[in-house]
Amino acid sequence: MIMKYSRFMQGVLLSAVVMAAVSPHTLAAASTQPGDRMDSATLLSASSSAESPAASASSTAALGTAFVQVAAGNYYSVGLRADGSVWTWGRNLLGELGIPDTTAVSSMAAPVRLSTLPPLNSIATDGYGYQLGVARDGTVWEWGSRPGYVRETQVPRALPGLSGISQVTTLQKYSFGLGSDGSVKAWMRDQKRGDSGPPISVNGLKNIVQLQSASDFIYALDSAGSVWRFTVNTSENQLHLSVPVRIQGLPALKQISTQHAYDAYGVDSSGKVWKWSIQASSGTAKLYVKLVSIQPSLQVRNVYASPGYALLVTRQGEVWMYDGKPGGSAIKVKGLQRIASAAAGDTHRLAVDAKGQVYGWGANNWNEVGVPRNTGDGMEYAPVPIQRPITIRINGSLLPASFPAVNKNNSIIVPVKSVAKELGGSLEASSDQAGTTYRLQYGQTTVTFRSGSAEAAIQGRSIALSGPVSMINGAVMVPASLFKQLGCQVDWNPNLAELSIQGK
């Protein structure tokens, strides 16, 4: 793992020099942090004052489609939009994405919407396939990989016994919730069945504003800027917590990010970044640190830690990549402007700008960056915008599909089987020496077509399609306009990136 990471970092540094752009997971990057979410005022302020009234209206209409938080897991990504919807992309080999029909999808290059989730306020990931989200009513939801099961997913479901939660952080076995009153709850996840146990209160903490987790250690930042740490473990299926201890020797901080159990970062009110290491000789009663100032010339809004490096997002919206070494250096990530938040994964990273556009760079073997793999080495060395998420509504309701719609060559293509099913139709396939023929039955109408062809036959009558039939991630994709030729009403809202299909 160390060799793999070193080779990766060499590639990043080489890219930074040659191209003037930089291209195991940290829980800090994925957990909700103060400043991660952007509010409406921040998003609207990104619009140019020179915009026309029509453009301004379009920006306002599309405000809900802006991303406000991202999380970078091991080979996959999660994004939360201003409208509360959650989108996932990247690897799904272990059911990481939380979509149904898991065995049919090994990875996803475009964001797919988790349509059964209620609107959320924040998200978190353990980095290894398990996610939590806090709904607007303070309940907690889970989705992703199921422990003890291979290639099976837990579709979104609410966790019992939790309410009034504002933020969460999660490990593979344990999860923690921050109450709206500043209290902290903890609960355990059964590693055989995947069920969550009842929450218990974490005593000795109050006025907490942020939680971070790494290994079996939990860091808590209170409203006065002090950082507390405690440990968690289990025995005989019982959750055991140590007494929280305040870390001595730190300045007052406004945001923290954990790297691993003994190292962490923090940002103070002046924008200075600090890194500290817990001294191994420290006892349980008091914790002292070795404190180092990081890149003092920068005024930083937030820091996002990952093993071996950290992303620094400045107050000017720049992103710098710090190599994590004592007295180390930082490289400015070119091609990013007005960045509001970020996420630092093991091998890829994400950034959200002030308009809510997500950019990704780094390893992309599983499409975790948010675009199809375009290079031989599976790397995106410079930040690229992720594929635009597209919402599909069938007869007014969200399409519960495992596959997203995609804008391909200015034609919106959709997973035909999922759309047909919601419209009351069906799709069948038959193969011969010439290839596979698909038969779409909708009411009394029969449509046949082949993969790769831009033609179809309706009741035996040949018609031209706006683009060829294609296969993406195992799904048969057809131009949405095909359903218009079947008598459906098909509408495309470019501002909201929303496709509506009304059956006849």
Residue-wise pLDDT for 24-71, tens only, equals: 333 333 444 544 665 544 433 333 333 333 343 344 446 789 999 999
pLDDT of residue 117: 98
Q: When comparing pLDDT for 60 and 395, which is higher?
A: 395
Q: What is the pLDDT of residue 32?
A: 43
Return the minimum-mean-pLDDT range out of 4-13, 225-234, 346-355. 4-13
Q: Poorest-confidence range of 41-50, 100-109, 227-236, 420-429?
A: 41-50
Identity of the residue numbered 109: A
Beta carbons of 413 and 479 less than 8 angstroms apart: yes
255 within 8 A of 302, measured Cβ to Cβ: yes
Same domain, 327 and 429: no
User: Binning pLDDT at 50, 70 and 90, where does residue 435 land?
Assistant: confident
Contact 272, 265 (CB under 8 A): no
- pLDDT value at residue 8: 43
**Is 326 a residue whose pLDDT tops 50?**
yes
CATH label of the domain that carries residue 475: 3.30.457.10
Average pLDDT over residues 292-317: 96
pLDDT at 197 over 90: no
Last residue of a domain, one of 346, 361, 385: 385
Question: What is the Cα–Cα distance from 333 to 357, expressed in whole angstroms?
Answer: 16
Same domain for 229 and 273, yes or no, is: yes
Q: What is the pTM of this model?
A: 0.88
Domain shared by 437 and 377, yes or no: no
For residues 340 and 407, membership in a common domain is answered with no
Tell me, what's the pLDDT at 424?
A: 98
User: Residue 402: which of 97, 99, 116, 77 has the closest Cα?
Assistant: 99
Say which range, 3-7, 116-120, 281-285, has the weakest mean pLDDT: 3-7
Residues 256 and 362 in one domain: yes
Co-location of 66 and 155 in the same domain: yes
The band of 168, judged by pLDDT with boundaries at 50, 70 and 90, is very high
- Predicted pLDDT of residue 28: 36
pLDDT for the residue numbered 33: 53
Both 233 and 262 in a single domain?
yes
Nearest in space to 363 (alpha carbons), one of 17, 20, 19, 25: 25
**In percent, how much of the chain has pLDDT > 70?**
84
Q: 330, 365, 385 — which closes off a domain?
A: 385
The pLDDT, as a whole number, for residue 279 is 73
Looking at residue 234, its pLDDT comes to: 83
Total domain count, the chain: 2
Query: Do 334 and 429 share a domain, yes or no?
Result: no
Same domain, 376 and 448: no
Mean pLDDT calculated for residue range 79-89: 98
What is the domain-level CATH number for residue 189?
A: 2.130.10.30
Query: Are 395 and 422 spatial neighbours (Cβ–Cβ below 8 Å)?
Result: yes
Radius of gyration of the chain from its Cα atoms, rounded to whole angstroms: 24
Q: Find how far residue 103's CA is from the centre of its chain.
A: 21
Strand extents, DSSP E, 416-486: 426-432, 435-442, 445-450, 455-458, 461-464, 470-472, 475-479
Please say if the pLDDT value at position 466 is more than 50: yes
Instruction: Report the pLDDT averaged over residues 367-374.
Output: 95
For the cut 70, the answer to whether the pLDDT of residue 479 exceeds it is: yes
The parent domain of residue 91 ranges over 2-385
Q: For strands 406-408 and 411-415, give the pairing.
A: antiparallel
Residues 328 and 404 both lie in one domain: no
Question: CA of 261: how far to CAs of 289, 347, 410, in Å?
Answer: 13, 20, 48
The answer to whether residues 321 and 222 belong to one domain is: yes
Q: What pLDDT was estimated at residue 19? A: 36
- Kindly state whether residues 339 and 420 are assigned to the same domain: no
Predicted confidence at residue 318, as pLDDT, reads 99
Q: Which of 363, 385, 407 is the last residue of a domain?
A: 385
| Beta bridge pairs of residue 87 | 79, 113
Torsion, Cα 453 457 463 469, to 10 degrees, reads -30
* Res 4 pLDDT > 90: no
Instruction: State the average pLDDT for the chain.
Output: 87
